Chains A and B, each alone.
Chain A
Amino acid sequence: MSAHEPARERVRGIAMSGLKADLYRVLKYAALIAWAIFVVAPFLWALSTSFKSDPGVVGGATYIPFLEYEPTVDGWTALFRDTSSGGISMQGPYLSSLVVSLISTSIALFLGTLAAYGLSRFTFRAGPLGNNDITFFFISQRIMPPAVLAIPYFLLLRFTGLLDTHLGLILVYVAMLLPIVVWVMVDFFNTVPIELDEAALIDGCNPIQAFYRIILPNCAPGMVVATLLCIIFSWSDFFFALTLTFAKVQLLPPTIVILNSNKVPWWSLSASALVSVLPLVIIAFVLERYLARGTLAGVIRE
């Protein structure tokens, strides 16, 4: 490896004279910094707002605590206070959201990886339809916009008595998540050569063991991607949570949005927004290192 480095540097040196290379670097970092500000600024603003109270907001924009406004933790404590004492009592919806999103993600991952493995490894025939058609059938579920699906789902859940229940919402989420999992995982399974399955079968595995001891570990990056997509969708879904649950079950996104309805408590809103992205941030950090692919480099020889 290291033996190649100087040569590569030299090639780059020839391609780009010193001055040009410097300019390139400056532009690159300028662009990255601009993007970072663009992404991070809303969070900083939300953070700062969450410590404000009325005077800090009505008089126009203020930014710097202690100088421009008097910081208070009222916005944060309101998250956990009862509605009767001016709070929004966020624990309940938070827990509901967590449960619904984790369960629906787990179910979708379990069923989706099995389905994707089957589609990647076996040939199915249903009349004139084959594997690709079945895969497309899965993905086609996501072609329709949620707004079109909401009313059928509503009627379906009412008919089965699952309206406004955790289970009903979980089922709907699983239906929405399965296509994503299948789509991502079929691609990953297809990159794993079938010889690995066969070697495992000859080595003493039954097909199930071959799947979870040999094939699945080699698709870990795919599982990570699928998990992330599932959690992001189910955690931040607003539309179905709003239309399919309303009284007994309350989920986080509608709860936060409903804060907007009467007098807007900007500080609590900001604080709850920050708290609600927290799980996603944690998951992103935990899973980050798995996102780098390359486990398969040794499988296929050139």
Chain B
Amino acid sequence: MAEVVVSGVFKRFGPVAALEEIDLTVHDNEFVVLVGPSGSGKSTLLRIIAGLERQSEGSVAIDGRDMAGIAPKDRDVAMVFQSHALYPHMNVFDNLAFNQRIRGVDRKTVDRKVREVAERLEITELLRRRPRQMSGGQRQRVAIGRALVRDPRIFLFDEPLSNLDAELRVRLRTVIKRLHQEMRRTSVYVTHDQVEAMTLADRVVVLRDGRIEQIGAPDDLYERPVNGFVAGFIGSPAMNFLQGTAAEGVVRIGETETGAAGAASGAVIVGIRPEDLLPDGAADRGRLRALVTLVEPMGADTLVFCTTDEGQELTVRLPRYTAVHEGETLALGPREGAVHLFDPETGQRLN
């Protein structure tokens, strides 16, 4: 059982407002991912939950108990740092055992727990090594292990994978996901990698400039972003944004009718994801004529970069075997119901 309730939290560093009015409930056993660009306040929020930083206003409660004035060591949280922060003067075994020892757990139990975790993370051969004698991936495994040995109420992760190369990142991401499926512990995970966010999260929290922009399941964020910022931040390659106009219930880009406008009218930003732009024949709405400028085969599919007749840039994701060449002109139409409309002024969703 562990539920984290953050309510009305503000954090100021001198004149800098790092967090503004944060309300967030992390339910028992839930895996919540905080994403946002650099400086958006992700680490600050995590550190406030951990007790490493004190909020300027508002409160944090764990399992209904207010955490004001409670030291990090008494919150029963474990944290994995971006810079692993393993103790350099201890070998892996002692790093894993440190917490248990300092809490006075007896030797036999410590030994058993450490070996169990080491086995699980496949670091048993490393137990006698010092942190500096290991690769980055091994160190981060140990850092995860150090948190696991404790079996805490809450796991906190601050970009644990962002110092690793792409392949390792994918591997360890799977490790973390598996562990969570087995252990079902309340977790808060900070990343600026939205693929990590999408794959790991039960719910994703998108932060910008210290404010929460949207909270929702990964699919919700992907399918119904509440504003242009979330729409552009979630998804890779990013959503296409085009200038359009809404009138009499339809949206037009240039002369092309691209979808229903709902209640919107006047100038709008039309957002279409790269995989929702379909070439000739597949689309059921009007066509955007676009000149292909670059083709990037990605394996499973192909990214096509084009410029429309009006000079707007488009990214299109096509199935693998589509034959497209630079210099060709495509006629593209959006998938039914996959057109997002945003207010050009406020960025808010309109449909």
Per-residue CB contact flags for chain B residues 84-103 toward chain A (1 = under 8 Å, else 0) read 11111100000000110011
Cβ contacts under 8 Å, B7 to chain A: none
| Cβ B83 vs Cβ A202 within 8 A | no
Chain A to chain B: the 6 pairs with minimum beta-carbon distance, closest first: A298-B132, A298-B131, A195-B85, A199-B85, A203-B99, A297-B132
**How many angstroms between the C-alpha atoms of A196 and B133 in the bound complex?**
18
Known: A201-B52, A204-B103, A217-B89. A301 touches B139 (CB 8 A): yes
Q: How large is the interface on B (under 10, 10 to 19, 20 to 34, 35 or more residues)?
A: 20 to 34
Contact across chains for A209 and B81 when beta carbons are under 8 A apart: no
B132 to chain A, nearest CB (A): 3
Q: Is the CB of B88 within 8 A of A199?
A: no
List residues of chain B with CB within 8 A of the CB of A217: 89
Q: Please tell me if the beta carbons of B85 and A193 are within 8 angstroms of each other in the complex.
A: yes
Of B52, B89, B103, most buried by chain A (CB within 10 Å of CB) is B89
List residues of chain A with CB within 8 A of the CB of B88: 196, 218, 295-299
CB-based A-B contact count at 8 angstroms: 79
List chain B residues, Cβ under 8 A from A299: 83, 85-86, 88, 131-132
**Residues A301 and B83 in contact, CB atoms below 8 Å apart:** yes
Asked if B344 lies at the interface with its beta carbon under 8 angstroms from chain A, I say no
Q: Mark contacts of B30-50 with chain A using CB atoms, 8 A cut-off: 1 yes-contact digit, 0 otherwise.
A: 000000000000000000001
In the bound complex, residues from chain B placing their C-beta under 8 Å from that of A196 are 85, 87-88
Per the bound structure, the CA–CA distance linking A218 and B95 in Å amounts to 14
Task: Say yes or no: is B128 at the interface (Cβ < 8 Å to chain A).
Answer: no
Q: Using an 8 Å CB-CB cutoff, how does the interface string of A245-281 with B read, 1 for contact, 0 for none?
A: 0000000000000000000000000000000000000
Knowing that A202-B78, A299-B83 touch, tell me 11 more A-B residue pairs with CB under 8 angstroms: A193-B85, A195-B85, A198-B72, A198-B81, A202-B73, A204-B102, A205-B102, A295-B89, A298-B133, A298-B139, A299-B132
* A293 shortest CB reach to chain B, Å: 12
Interface residues of A in 164-215 (CB under 8 A from B): 193, 195-196, 198-206, 209, 213-214
Contact (Cβ within 8 A) B102 A199: no
**6 pairs of residues in contact across A and B, judged by CB atoms under 8 Å:** A199-B79, A202-B50, A209-B102, A295-B89, A298-B133, A298-B139
CB neighbours (8 Å) of A213 from chain B are 102
Assembly CA distance A209 to B73 (angstroms): 11
A148 an interface residue at 8 Å Cβ cutoff? no
**B17-74 at interface with A (beta carbon < 8 Å):** 50-52, 71-73
Q: Is the CB of B79 within 8 A of A202?
A: yes
**A202 touching B87 by the CB < 8 A rule?**
no
Please tell me if B163 contacts chain A, counting CB pairs below 8 Å.
yes
The verdict on B77 contacting chain A, using a C-beta distance below 8 Å, is yes
| Residues in A whose Cβ lies below 8 Å from that of B134 | 298
Pick from B81, B146, B150: contact of A195, CB below 8 A. Answer: B81
B binding-site residues for A, Cβ under 8 Å: 50-52, 71-73, 77-79, 81, 83-89, 98-99, 102-103, 130-134, 136, 139, 146, 150, 163
A300 contacts chain B at the CB level, 8 A cutoff = yes
Q: How far is the CB of B104 from chain A (nearest CB, A)?
A: 10
A298 B130 Cβ-Cβ under 8 A: yes
Q: Tell me if A300 and B83 are in contact (CB < 8 A).
A: yes
Which chain B residue shows the least CB distance to A192? Answer: B88
8 Å CB contact of B136 from A195, A296, A301:
A301
A204-B103, A295-B88 known; A199 and B81 CB under 8 Å?
Answer: yes
Given the known inter-chain contacts A209-B102, A298-B133, please indicate yes or no for A218 contacting B85, CB distance below 8 A: no
Knowing A199-B79, A301-B163 touch, does A204 contact B73 (C-beta < 8 A)? yes
Contacts of B132 in A (CB 8 A): 297-299
Residues of B close to A297: CB separation below 8 A: 88, 132
Cα–Cα distance between A198 and B158 once the two chains are bound (Å): 13
Contact A204 B84 (CB under 8 A): no
The answer for the CA separation of A204 and B98 in the assembled complex, in Å, is 9
A298 touches B83 (CB 8 A): no
In the complex, which of the residues A195, A203, A204 contacts B83, with contact meaning CB atoms closer than 8 Å?
A: A195
